[in-house]
């Protein structure tokens, strides 16, 4: 749990490396120690396996005027030490889950990750971020990364490829994990000044004694404490905690997934921007989302986040807002939205498809009125959930704008044209259009809009009866 050290007012963050036995937790921590030139404290091992923890301390830049100090811990992976692991996980500000991605071990890895996610979701306060360290990528029997990403993505984690044995990718994992922990602090995670006897200030020996008490039994003397693992030379970590992201923690995970191709958001300095990142993501930023100061940008981000929160029951879930400094020393807000099928793409051919699309547009407009948010409800911005309910899949404007009636005109005219030429049975068409007309009359819609729809639908019904009558 993050806190301020009374000695030097450092912000102390606990980064916990979790994962199945022999996945590479200790190896990862020792790889970081080589990079930073710091010692790892390992109170006890048994047959080369961690019994309590591996502990590494490191300073990692500044946060709002306070130095950042990391308590990096790996937990014992064996089931017999489950209580010790639970105690260390309970105070984690972020968890790095080291996953064995070899074919033989991957199913057990995914199951253990899902269990960790359930444990962390039960904690009160802002969410605890998880970074999935896809380890053992140097092995010939490693599961393909696209399969790894698909299997673990549902657990709301950021995914990084690593090989802990040679340190490849491990430092990048830590840098991102610290960003998630800081996002949690920004989001209001409990932050206090530790008292002199606070167990969070415990040394490695004191933490070992605390875990012995948690376990309720002493460790066999054959597992006596081993000396600290020897350090090697390395570089100090840079302060890389940049950008403001909403929602906290999970938003940064989405950002990492969307920008994996290496897009540089800082390079976009002016005008409206829409970027496509493969087939999965769209990035949007309007010309009025550029600010001269970070304070103005932060205020706009907060307002936009409130708008997203207000509309959360209508909008598609996989989206985030990011405030980045631009190359010309200003600040720009971006909205990153996972691409979901819209009504134009989903629309079936023929009049029945038009009726379904028109029903979704009207439902979207009604939902906007219910939540008190004006969003543009069009064939391009609306889609349907798996259960058939309408959802908003487009970008939410920084300044909300009401729906244009042009979409209703387009759909009702399309419906009339389809009805004039379709070979669908008349009875089926009459039932569908009449049912929609009855729904329109009960809607809390603008009276002029209702009158327009009734005129168009009656005209369509008349045309259908005339054309289809024997």
* Whole-number Cα distances in Å, 372 to 310, 353, 388, 403: 8, 29, 22, 13
Is residue 115 a part of any domain in this protein?
yes
Query: In terms of domains, do 264 and 383 share one?
Result: no
DSSP, collapsed to helix, strand or coil, labels residue 63 as strand
Domain stops at, among 304, 338, 372 = 338
Query: Residues 326, 352: one domain?
Result: no
Query: Is 463 inside a domain boundary?
Result: yes
Judgement on whether residues 399 and 318 belong to the same structural domain of the protein? no
Place of tokens 């996002």: 183
Q: Looking at the domain assignment, is residue 212 inside a domain? A: yes
DSSP for residue 52: S
Residue 104 within any structural domain of the chain? yes
pLDDT of 260 reads 77
Residue 321 lies in a domain: yes
Per residue of the chain (470 residues), give pLDDT as tens: 787 877 778 888 999 999 988 888 888 998 999 988 988 887 765 555 566 778 888 988 888 888 898 989 888 767 766 788 888 888 899 999 999 999 999 999 999 999 999 999 998 888 999 999 999 988 999 999 999 988 997 778 999 988 878 888 899 999 999 999 999 888 877 666 654 455 555 555 555 554 455 454 333 333 333 333 333 333 223 333 367 899 988 999 998 888 876 677 776 666 778 777 667 888 899 888 999 998 999 999 999 999 999 999 999 999 999 998 888 889 999 999 999 999 888 766 566 677 778 788 888 888 888 888 888 888 889 999 988 899 999 999 887 765 555 666 666 666 666 555 555 565 666 677 677 667 766 766 666 666 766 776 666 666 555 554 55
CB 420 within 8 A of CB 463: yes
Q: Could you give the dihedral angle defined by the CA atoms of residues 384, 390, 394 and 397, in that order, rounded to the nearest 10 degrees?
A: 180
Q: Are residues 163 and 269 in the same domain?
A: no
User: Using N-to-C axis directions, what is the helix angle for 82-90 and 103-121, rounded to 10°?
Assistant: 50
In this structure, the answer to whether residues 28 and 148 fall within a common structural domain is yes
The Cα–Cα gap between 332 and 348 comes to 39
98 with 216, same domain: the answer is yes
Residues 176 and 280 in one domain: no
Q: What is d(CA 430, CA 437) in angstroms, rounded to the nearest whole number? A: 10
End-to-end CA distance of the chain: 77
In whole angstroms, what is the distance from residue 51 CA to residue 226 CA?
11
pLDDT at 333: 93
> 33 with 178, same domain?
yes
Residue 186 and residue 39 share a domain: yes
The string of DSSP letters for 52-104 reads S-EEEEEEEEEETTEEEEEEEEE---SGGGHHHHHHHHHT-SEEEEEEE-BHH
Residue 279 lies in a domain: yes
**Domain's final residue, options 338, 354, 374:** 338
Number of domains in the chain: 3
- Cis amide leading into 247 (omega within 30): yes
How confident is the model at residue 343, as a pLDDT? 85
Is residue 392 in a domain?
yes
Distance of alpha carbon 456 from alpha carbon 458, whole angstroms: 6
Task: Render the burial of 34-57: b for 16+ CB within 10 Å, e for the rest.
Answer: bbbebbbbbbbbeeeebbbbbbbb
> Is residue 233 in some structural domain?
no
Same-domain pairing of 359 and 436: yes
Give phi and psi for 283, each to the nearest 5.
-115, 130
Domain identity same for 199 and 286: no
Domain that residue 88 falls in: 3-223
> Among residues 320, 338, 356, which one ends one of the domains?
338
* CATH (domain of 194): 3.40.50.300
Claim to verify: residue 148 and residue 44 sit in the same structural domain: yes
Tokens standing for residue 273: 């921007």
């Amino acid at each position: 749990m993050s806190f301020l050290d009374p000695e030097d007012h450092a912000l102390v963050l606990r980064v916990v490396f979790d994962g199945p036995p022999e996945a590479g937790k200790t190896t990862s921590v020792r790889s970081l120690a080589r990079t930073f030139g710091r010692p790892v404290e390992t109170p006890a091992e048994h047959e080369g396996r961690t019994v309590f923890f591996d502990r590494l301390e490191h300073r990692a830049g500044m946060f709002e005027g306070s130095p950042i100090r990391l308590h990096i811990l790996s937990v014992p992976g064996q089931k017999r030490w489950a209580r010790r692991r639970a105690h260390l996980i309970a105070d984690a500000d972020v968890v790095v889950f080291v996953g064995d991605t070899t074919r033989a071990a991957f199913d057990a890895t995914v199951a253990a990750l899902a269990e960790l996610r359930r444990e962390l979701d039960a904690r009160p306060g802002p969410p605890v971020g998880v970074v999935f360290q896809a380890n053992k990528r140097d092995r010939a029997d490693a599961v393909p990364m696209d399969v790894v990403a698909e299997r673990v993505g549902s657990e709301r984690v950021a995914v990084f490829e690593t090989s802990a044995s040679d340190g490849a990718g491990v430092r990048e994992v830590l840098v991102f994990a610290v960003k998630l922990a800081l996002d949690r602090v920004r989001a209001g995670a409990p932050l206090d000044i530790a008292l002199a006897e606070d167990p969070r200030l415990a040394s490695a020996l004191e933490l070992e004694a605390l875990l012995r008490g948690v376990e309720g039994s002493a460790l066999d003397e054959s597992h006596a404490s081993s000396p600290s693992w020897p350090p090697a030379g390395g570089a100090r970590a840079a302060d890389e905690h940049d950008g403001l992201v909403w929602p906290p923690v999970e938003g940064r995970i989405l950002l990492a997934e969307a920008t994996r191709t290496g897009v540089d958001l800082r390079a976009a300095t002016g005008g409206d921007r829409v970027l496509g990142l493969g087939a999965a993501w769209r990035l949007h930023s309007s010309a009025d989302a550029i600010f001269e100061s970070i304070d103005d940008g932060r205020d706009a981000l907060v307002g936009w986040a409130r708008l997203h929160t207000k509309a959360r029951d209508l909008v598609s879930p996989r989206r985030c807002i990011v405030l980045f400094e631009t190359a010309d020393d200003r600040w720009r807000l971006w909205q990153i939205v996972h691409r979901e099928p819209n009504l134009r793409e989903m629309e079936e051919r023929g009049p029945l498809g038009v009726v379904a699309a028109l029903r979704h547009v009207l439902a979207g407009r009604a939902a906007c009125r219910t939540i008190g948010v004006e969003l543009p409800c069009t064939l391009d911005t609306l889609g349907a959930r798996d259960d058939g309910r309408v959802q908003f899949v487009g970008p939410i404007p920084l300044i909300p704008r009401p729906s244009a009636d042009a979409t209703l005109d387009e759909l009702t005219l399309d419906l009339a044209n389809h009805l004039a030429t379709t070979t669908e049975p008349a009875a089926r068409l009459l039932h569908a259009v009449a049912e929609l007309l009855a729904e329109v009359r009960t809607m809390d819609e603008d009276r002029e809009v209702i009158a327009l729809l009734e005129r168009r639908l009656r005209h369509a019904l008349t045309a259908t009866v005339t054309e289809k009558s024997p």
